Amino acid sequence: MNTIIYANQKRRSVRDLNKNLPISQDRLEEIVKSVTLQYPSAFDTQSARVVLVVGEKHDLLWDKIIEILRGVVQGDFSATFARLSAFKKGYGTILFFEDFKPLEKSYENFSFLGLETFKNFSEQSSGIIQYALWLALAYEGVGCNLQHYNPLIDEEVKKMFEIPSDWSLKAQLIIGGINKEPEAKNLKNINTLVKIIK
Ligand SMILES: Cc1cc2nc3c(=O)[nH]c(=O)nc-3n(C[C@H](O)[C@H](O)[C@H](O)COP(=O)(O)O)c2cc1C
């Protein structure tokens, strides 16, 4: 089977993770760097900034996110606490940022497209790299799930890891060994999703 289609079918949101990554730390770094070097971005601006957080720092990150959420969730915190604690049990977190400065440069030449279009380009480029990395990791048996605690956590995360203040946090991909595979998906009728015109 086509390798990418195989990886696409293998990729799921795995939320029950452990710290036993099926690949080495070196291999993980290699995959993160390789995907980040060569993903498609609007005007080839390469606006993604990727921060891989593992080990004790990953645990500290999730402790901080738990603390932040405890301050904003109203009422019973137990369900949120259980969900966040599960993420802490993973091996690491990949933080996806966007640096809008390179896009601002392109915007100067293509301002007739409107600033909103460039903001959308940045979001779309980020989605593409998130998915490419998710796919590459899933292919090698790494469990992943994608979370969005931004913008609640942005300030503290930037402080923790000395991230430039003008980078924008887009998503958090939690990675780890797979404890439990997710249930099979309810797939829609393909004919309601794809129209072939010939
Ligand atoms: C743009 C986007 C945002 C998502 N945000 C979250 C999220 O914040 N938390 C979460 O648990 N899953 C999130 N997901 C994962 C989806 O819920 C998941 O992909 C979907 O339910 C299908 O399941 P699958 O990934 O196993 O195929 C997000 C996915 C996408 C594409």
- Which long-range contacts link 151-157 to residues 24+ away (Cβ below 8 Å)? 152/68, 152/69, 152/72, 153/64, 153/65, 153/68, 156/64, 156/68, 157/61, 157/64, 157/95
Instruction: Kindly report whether the global pTM for this prediction surpasses the value 0.85.
Output: yes
Q: Please give the distance, rounded to the nearest whole angstrom, from the Cα atom of residue 170 to the centre of ligand 1.
A: 13
Ligand 1 atom closest to Cα of residue 131:
31
Question: What does CATH list as the number for 3-182?
Answer: 3.40.109.10
Residue-wise pLDDT tens digits, 17-35: 999 999 999 999 999 999 9
Residue-wise pLDDT tens digits, 68-119: 999 999 999 999 999 999 999 999 999 999 999 999 999 999 999 999 999 9
Q: Please give the distance, rounded to the nearest whole angstrom, from the Cα atom of residue 126 to the centre of ligand 1.
A: 15
Phi-psi group of 174: left, alpha or beta (phi > 0 → left; psi -120 to 50 → alpha; rest → beta): beta
Mutate to test the pocket of ligand 1, among 95, 131, 146, 187 (most ligand atoms within 8 A of CB): 146
Domain ranges of the chain: 3-182
Mutate to test the pocket of ligand 1, among 9, 10, 13, 186 (most ligand atoms within 8 A of CB): 13
